[in-house]
Amino acid sequence: MINYGDILTLNYADKQWSLTGYDYSGLNWLDSSPKPTQAELDALASATTTKKAQNICKQQAQSLIQATDWSTLADVTTGTPKLTNQADFIAYRSAIRELIVNPIANPTFPTVPTAVWA
C-alpha cells in the first residue's frame, strides 16, 4: 500500500495540501503550483520509503551520540575517577557520527562501550 502522507510530507513539504484518509482521492491540493498526479506520487514511493528509513537512522544515531556526550568532557579523562577507555568511546562516536552524516536505510548500530574507570 502506498503511503501518500509520507510521500507528500517528505517530497512536498514546501507546498500547501491536506490529505483525508490514505488514498490519492483524499488529496486536497491547496498550493498554487500544479497538483502532482497519482502516477507522479506513485513513482516516488520507493525512494520515499528509503528516505524515511534514512531519517529514522539519523534520529536514532543522534540520540545514541547524545547519550555518550558525557565521554567528551575534559574532567572525564583528567579527573578522579578517570575514564580509561576513552579511545573506545571515540571510535564508537565516530561510527555513530558517520550514520548521522550518511544515514542508511537498514543500519547496524555499534555497541556502546562500557565505561571503565580508574
Residue 58, C-alpha cell as written in the block: 539519523
User: How does pLDDT run across 46-64, given as a tens digit for each residue?
Assistant: 999 999 999 999 999 999 9
* Upper half-sphere CA count for residue 43 (Cβ side, 13 Å): 5
d(CA 79, CA 104): 37
CA triple 95-7-29, angle to 5 deg:
145
d(CA 98, CA 57): 11
Lowest mean pLDDT among 4-13, 17-26, 35-44, 72-81: 72-81
Residue 85 has a pLDDT of: 97
**Res. 40 pLDDT band, cuts 50 70 90:** very high
CA triple 96-101-104, angle to 5 deg:
75
Residue 96 has a pLDDT of: 98
User: How does pLDDT run across 66-112, given as a tens digit for each residue?
Assistant: 999 999 999 998 889 999 999 999 999 999 999 999 999 999 999 99
* Overall average pLDDT of the 20-37 stretch: 97
Residue 79 has a pLDDT of: 87
Q: What does the domain layout of the chain look like in residue ranges?
A: 1-43, 56-118
Averaged pLDDT of the chain: 97
